[in-house]
Amino acid sequence: MTYNQDREFKFPQGQDVQGTPQTPSKLSLFDYDNPDIKFAAIRAKEIIRISGADVTVYPRVKKFDYDRTWDEDPNPLYGSGRKFRAYFAPKPTEAVMTMAGVDAPNQMNIVFAKQDVVEIFQDRFLIPGDIIDAPYGGSILKPRKYRIINAQDTGNFKYVWLYITCTCETIPDDKTIDVTHR
């Protein structure tokens, strides 16, 4: 026995089981044209603009000659820097003395407005391996450059994410990431 598509009952285009026309709900949670969602995205962008600092993001260019076993690239390439506004709370200048020497904090969270990232990058998000050049650090190493370890959506409003939070590690005096132009 074979399946015959011609015998399958189909509803008229744009109607449901009862035959009533289907229209999008005015209370739809996934409607990005919803005024509430637009208002929340504008406010999230405004919060980052007021409380944040100017940072430059250097996107990592995908190459196909990296070591697939260790999933690393000994000589990564980075695209031209793109300016963003981002919020980050620098760690206080502190040094913990351990048996091996000075242990300085090496991670920081940097928060971006998701609307900014979509407007500037358009075809990609912030991914692990991208470099962020921040105006000031805060640890004893006084880093300026941070490598993204993890990027995740945060700040949920009506099932829409408003922010992207990047967990970053410091890159102190790494000559492979020496970016001279600003």
What pLDDT digit, counting tens, does each position of 20-47 carry? 666 666 655 566 677 888 888 889 999 9
- Give the tens place of pLDDT for each residue, 57-84: 999 887 766 666 666 666 778 888 899 9
Name the CATH topology of 31-64+78-177. Answer: Thrombin, subunit H (2.40.10)
DSSP string, 10-46: -PPTTB-TTSPBP---TT-TT-TT-HHHHHHHHHHHH
Domain boundaries, the chain: 31-64+78-177
Q: Read off the pTM.
A: 0.69
